Chain A
Amino acid sequence: MSSHPPFTISRLLKAPRALVWEVYSQPAHLAHWLGPKGSTVTHSQMDFREGGTYHYAMTVEGGMELWGKWLLREIQPPEKLVLIQCFSDSQGGVTRNPWTDAWPMYTLSTTTLTEQEGGTLLSLVWEPYEATDTESALFAASHASMNQGWSGNLDVLEDYLSLLNQKA
């Protein structure tokens, strides 16, 4: 396991927890929001059980097609979903990050849904899984700079370098 802090993000959603769970776990719903801005999900196939997989494809801005896969580890409706995430291909294989081999092959994401005044709090913890030190450092650097606005992005790289230096 990595010694770097994981990536975390949370959002208070104005919806009942049961609905958020549904939208987070059913392939027809996932296709509506899974990709980043400007992307379209073109394949969404789910075998929703512990040990099952979710296989998906999306076309991102610029026309590039990306395949991904979840390996479902722990399912506790309607509050907790643990999965291993990797890049994939149309055959459902495991592939490297298409931009760089330096990214961890597998990442582990834990999503927790908590009922709160006004809706449901979604909390995500995302960390490298079975990654090398260099891969973990790169992963950590991708979120090390907590300031919003990453225009001064050389700071991010500085963070990456300092994380590598801790290992040296």
Chain B
Amino acid sequence: MSDPLSTTFAALADPTRRAILARLSLGESSVRDLAAPFAMSAPAVTKHLKVLQRAGLITQGRQAQWRPCKLEAQPLREAADWVAQYRQHWEERLDRLETYLATLQPPSTEEKQ
């Protein structure tokens, strides 16, 4: 699973990581604040953050002492774009089917209706 989309979807497949993203959609947060609602060790939370970071879904600041985590929307947007394209594909395919059927039939049949 090395393509960016699979990395994004794999990162999203875990409920803890989704909860972390949901929290970050409200604004930046320190690792300690992020970890607070979860009944898990700090290293376990850090592990999840690393997965999210590798997927490009969050970044962690280097300046401030508390190194805030921040949500990055771009990979989410790309994943959503990809996910949304299937209906469009089917619509396009049926458009082409319709056009093709019209070329196979004499135009007079259509005009009679």
Quick one: CB contact mask for A26-43 with B, threshold 8 Å, 1 for yes?
A: 000100111111000000
A-B interface pairs (CB < 8 A), number: 118
B interface secondary structure, majority: helix
> Which of A45-53, A83-91, A157-165 lies on the face that meets chain B?
A157-165
Smallest CB-CB separation from A144: which chain B residue? B83
Q: Are A99 and B82 in contact (CB under 8 A)?
A: yes
Q: Are A19 and B104 in contact (CB under 8 A)?
A: yes
Quick one: CB contact mask for A1-39 with B, threshold 8 Å, 1 for yes?
A: 000000101010111000110011000010011111100
Interface residues on A, range: 35 or more
In the assembled complex, the Cα of A122 lies from the Cα of B12 at a distance in Å of 35
Q: Are A153 and B95 in contact (CB under 8 A)?
A: no
The answer to whether residues A102 and B9 also contact, given A34-B93, A153-B80 and a CB cut-off of 8 A, is yes
In the assembled complex, the Cα of A100 lies from the Cα of B84 at a distance in Å of 14
The answer to whether residues A150 and B12 also contact, given A13-B101, A102-B5 and a CB cut-off of 8 A, is no
A116 contacts the other chain (CB 8 A) = no
Chain A residues within 8 Å of B104, by CB: 15, 19, 23
